[in-house]
Structure 1
């Protein structure tokens, strides 16, 4: 008996299971092609989620940068710290999401 991931919910299940205890997916009635197609759909959905997150991170980064450019807040003011924080968080969040996307694409 081995532990595998359910193609429907990606949770750990036994390879002998006929029904996933988490999402109630009927594994016994599915062909290998259907299981692979479902796993592919799950992987693409995960990639799209991280792509959306990277766009949000980019918007946060650009928002902080553009605020600093147009408004030119005074040094050591709350506005300056907020803009710098948005730039830092957006940049790190974007980079982490891009690394995860590269990992997911190589995992194919």
Structure 2
């Protein structure tokens, strides 16, 4: 008896289990086609998650610029530091997510 991961939910289960106790996948009846479909569904779900993160990062980045140019906070004030921080964090978060998305698309 070995500990393996479920092909659907990636939870640790016993190799003797016929059904995954976490997601109720019938392990004995899984074909190669079903495994490929499950893997494709996981990949699409992961890509969608990073795409959503990219949109949130872009909103943070653009919100920082909008606040900076509409409110024009005084230099060296808390508002200015927060605005610059939002712009920097949003920019870095967006770039990192886009790099991850390119990597996931090339991984196909």
TM-score (norm 2): 0.83
Distance verdict in 2 for CA 1:97–1:75, change over 3 Å? same
RMSD, matched Cα:
2.2
Give 1:18 shift: 4.9
1:12, 1:95 → 2: CA distance? 33
SS in 1 for 2:73: coil
Length, aligned pairs only: 108
What stretches of structure 1 move > 4 A for 4+ residues in a row? 11-22
Stretches of structure 2 that go unaligned for 5 or more consecutive residues are none
Give the whole-Å Cα distance in 2 for the aligned partners of 1:43 and 1:87.
30
Partners of 2:86 and 2:42 in 1: CA distance: 31
Name stretches of at least 5 consecutive residues in structure 1 with no aligned partner.
none
